[in-house]
């Protein structure tokens, strides 16, 4: 690791990239020094938090002709639901074993306070949540953190599948010090050096979080980008200041995504978009069946030697193939090389494979057939108690599963599709033979 850093230590002439704003695309030239033109930033419509108009959220709510808010609230709810219903319920191929390096800009530009409390502290706060959620959805994936400042790149954590290591590193004071200019090239090369060694069946990804508009590189960054493309590494970028040509180029060339954070909420959205496993594009040839073992946890009354450290320990996991005891999973058995994982970890991602079909809305005219939600026992609003006018502006709040024909309330509908991923109605029915059709 020290070697990598040394390699990258030679500083080159500072290269500044032009911030473009849609209309002004400046050809990027490594040796040119271009000042950032602030005036061009303001021409666009309110993209940044400080450009936004003062909004009064209560103005959005307007009473309908009967002086009731029910219709408005309902349409807002509907809008939220529609967003959810856009969800794809087709099982698609996703690369679930992922390897991701997060490059964090630790330059002075991160001290800017346009994102509150500051770009840096907001980034660290969001990253903590990001890491927890990432491992929730990508259970056997790995993350590594790289920081860049003073023209150097440094690994904050190695690529590993243990969220607590990364979160601990993010909490360390020494990693939060900023200084000088970032070096995009050094950081990318550092990540690349680690990523080219990961097995071919996993994805290789880089996420760049950049606050600075400039980078200090030892060589031509286009060579690095070409090497990333060659090694099938996908780089996505979140810029905190403005759209920078070279960052956009990097992400488009490597088939990643690019986004400029406009405000705190938007930043979070951009970051969390990286979490769901990406749909597989080109790596089909490297897909394979991997043999894995699901060890049992054992608690011996006497201490025995573990196979991984050769230490006397009490508890551990027993390799189902050779019977040796290991301290922690996921790991590879040191004796027989079998990959050992805990099966619940794998199961965390199964809801991506078997999503629950979207429920259909029940119109008011059929609403009298059901009196209560099947899963939470909440009684529905009876259609006889709702006036015809109100019925025309609201929905009945009943949603039906097409497969089991059970009816659910709005809360349960959202809970079933977003959290639970099981249809209680379908599960409660007598089991049909596999693939059987419900009569």
Among residues 39, 291, 387, 392, the one that binds other proteins under rule CB under 8 A:
291
Residues numbered 299 to 328 that lie near other proteins (CB under 8 A) are 299, 320-321
Q: Which of residues 190-219 bind other proteins (CB under 8 A)?
A: 196-202
The interface with Zn ion within residues 290-329 (CB under 5 A) comprises 306, 308-309, 319, 321-322, 327
For residue 156, how many C-alpha atoms fall within 13 Å in the half-sphere facing its CB? 27
The CA distance from 8 to 151, in Å, is 9
Q: How far is the CB of 349 from Zn ion (least distance, A)?
A: 11
> How far is residue 400's CA from residue 357's CA, in Å, rounded to a whole number?
10
**Inter-CA distances, 205 with 11, 129, 202, Å:** 26, 19, 10
**Nearest by Cα to 387 from 35, 70, 155:** 70
Q: Which stretch binds other proteins (CB under 8 A): 75-83, 118-126, 265-273, 423-431?
A: 423-431
353: partner contacted, choices Zn ion, other proteins, none (Cβ within 5-8 A by kind) = other proteins
**Is residue 285 at the binding interface for other proteins, with CB under 8 A as the rule?**
yes
Extended beta strands in 25-163, E state: 98-105, 142-149, 152-160
How far apart CA 104 and CA 211 sit, in angstroms, is: 9
Is the separation of the CB atoms in 126 and 273 below 8 Å?
no
DSSP class per residue in 385-408: GS-HHHHHHS--SEEE-TTT--EE
For other proteins, which stretch binds (CB under 8 A), given 63-71, 89-97, 123-131, 211-219? Answer: 89-97
Among 211, 256, 277, 425, binds Zn ion (CB under 5 A): 425
183: three-class secondary structure by DSSP: coil
Query: Is there binding between residue 423 and Zn ion (CB under 5 A)?
Result: yes
CB 29 within 8 A of CB 245: no
Segment 345-404, which members bind Zn ion (CB under 5 A)? 373, 376, 401, 403-404
Per rule CB under 8 A, is residue 371 in the interface with other proteins?
Answer: yes
Contact status: 420 vs Zn ion (CB under 5 A): no
Interface size with other proteins, residues (CB under 8 A): 79
In the complex, the residues that contact Zn ion under the rule CB under 5 A are 306, 308-309, 319, 321-322, 327, 333, 335-336, 338, 373, 376, 401, 403-404, 409, 412, 423, 425-426
């Amino acid at each position: 690791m020290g070697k990598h850093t040394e390699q990258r230590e030679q500083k080159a002439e500072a290269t500044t990239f032009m911030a473009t704003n849609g209309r002004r695309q400046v050809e990027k030239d490594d040796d040119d020094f271009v000042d950032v033109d602030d005036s061009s930033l303001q021409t666009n419509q309110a993209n940044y938090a400080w450009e936004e108009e003062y909004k009064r959220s209560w103005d959005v709510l307007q009473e309908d002709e009967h002086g009731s808010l029910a219709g408005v609230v309902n349409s807002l709810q509907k809008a939220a639901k529609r967003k959810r219903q856009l969800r794809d319920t087709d099982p698609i191929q996703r690369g679930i074993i992922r390897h991701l390096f997060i490059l964090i800009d630790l330059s002075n530009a991160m001290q800017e306070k346009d994102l509150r409390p500051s770009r840096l502290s907001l980034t660290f706060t969001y990253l903590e949540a990001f890491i927890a959620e990432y491992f929730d959805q990508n259970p056997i994936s790995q993350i590594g953190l790289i920081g860049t400042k003073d023209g150097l790149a440094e690994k904050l954590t190695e690529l590993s599948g243990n969220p607590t290591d990364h979160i601990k590193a993010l909490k360390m004071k020494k990693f939060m010090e900023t200084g000088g200019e970032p070096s995009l090239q050094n950081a990318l090369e550092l990540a690349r050096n680690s990523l080219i060694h990961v097995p071919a069946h996993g994805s290789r990804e880089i996420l760049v979080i950049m606050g600075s508009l400039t980078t200090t590189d030892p060589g031509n960054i286009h060579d690095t980008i070409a090497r990333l493309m060659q090694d099938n590494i996908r780089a996505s970028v979140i810029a905190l200041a403005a759209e920078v040509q070279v960052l956009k180029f990097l992400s488009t060339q490597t088939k990643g995504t690019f986004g400029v954070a406009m405000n705190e909420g938007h930043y979070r959205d951009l970051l969390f978009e990286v979490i769901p496993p990406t749909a597989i594009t080109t790596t089909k040839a490297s897909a394979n069946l991997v043999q894995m073992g699901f060890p049992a946890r054992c608690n011996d009354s006497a201490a025995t030697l573990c196979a991984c450290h050769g230490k006397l320990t009490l508890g551990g996991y027993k390799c189902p193939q050779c019977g040796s005891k290991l301290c922690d999973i996921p790991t590879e058995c040191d004796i027989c090389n079998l990959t050992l994982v805990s099966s619940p970890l794998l199961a965390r991602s199964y809801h991506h494979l078997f999503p629950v079909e979207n429920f259909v809305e029940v119109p008011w005219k059929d609403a009298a057939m059901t009196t209560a939600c099947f899963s939470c026992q909440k009684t529905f609003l009876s259609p006889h108690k709702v006036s015809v006018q109100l019925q025309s502006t609201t929905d009945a709040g009943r949603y039906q599963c097409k497969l089991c024909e059970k009816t659910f309330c709005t809360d349960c509908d959202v809970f079933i599709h977003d959290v639970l991923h099981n249809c209680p109605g379908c599960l409660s029915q007598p089991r049909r033979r596999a693939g059987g059709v419900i009569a």
